[in-house]
């Protein structure tokens, strides 16, 4: 900052006093609050902006340094803070599909047995999947 001009006014406001007008270059006009966008990086003292001086929730993701927010490993086979635990593996349904392509008034015992086997295995696998998700904490009890 430099003092650009200094002016002495001969008119005295009251006995024994005088008025001086000083213009300091680089200060915003109209008070002590800097004007919008008037503070540049060059005007900031080194380390004058610290974490304590930055309001919570004001920094955008694009302004964060690389590595500030860790990359999550994705999923985990055991509980890891901040990571969704993988549920235990549940095998695919292996029962053969029912094969009847036409309906009849009477039910073929072999076909009926295949349908029962398929439905029972679906129930067993579905229950195993639900249990695995509960154990992993992905589903409430």
Domain limits, the chain: 90-141
pLDDT at 73: 64
In the three-class reduction of DSSP (H, G, I as helix; E, B as strand; rest coil), residue 23 is classed as strand
Residue spans of alpha helices (H) in the chain: 109-135
Residues in the chain, overall count: 141
pLDDT, mean of each 10-residue run, the chain (141 residues): 52 64 64 77 86 87 81 66 72 75 73 88 91 81 71
Token representation of residue 132: 């695995």
pLDDT at 125: 92
Our separate counts of H helices and E strands in the chain read 1, 4
């Amino acid at each position: 900052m430099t003092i650009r001009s200094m002016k002495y006014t001969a008119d005295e406001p009251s006995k024994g006093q005088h008025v001086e007008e000083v213009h300091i270059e680089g200060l915003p006009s109209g008070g002590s609050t800097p004007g919008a966008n008037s503070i540049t990086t060059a005007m900031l003292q080194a380390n004058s902006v610290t974490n304590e001086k930055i309001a919570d929730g004001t920094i955008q993701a694009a302004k964060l340094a690389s590595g500030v927010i860790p990359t999550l490993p994705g999923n985990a086979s055991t509980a890891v803070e901040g990571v969704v635990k993988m549920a235990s593996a549940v095998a695919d349904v292996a029962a053969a599909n029912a094969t009847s392509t036409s309906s009849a008034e009477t039910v073929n015992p072999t076909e009926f047995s295949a349908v029962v086997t398929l439905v029972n295995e679906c129930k067993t696998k579905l229950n195993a999947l639900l249990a695995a998700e509960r154990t992993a904490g992905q589903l409430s009890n």
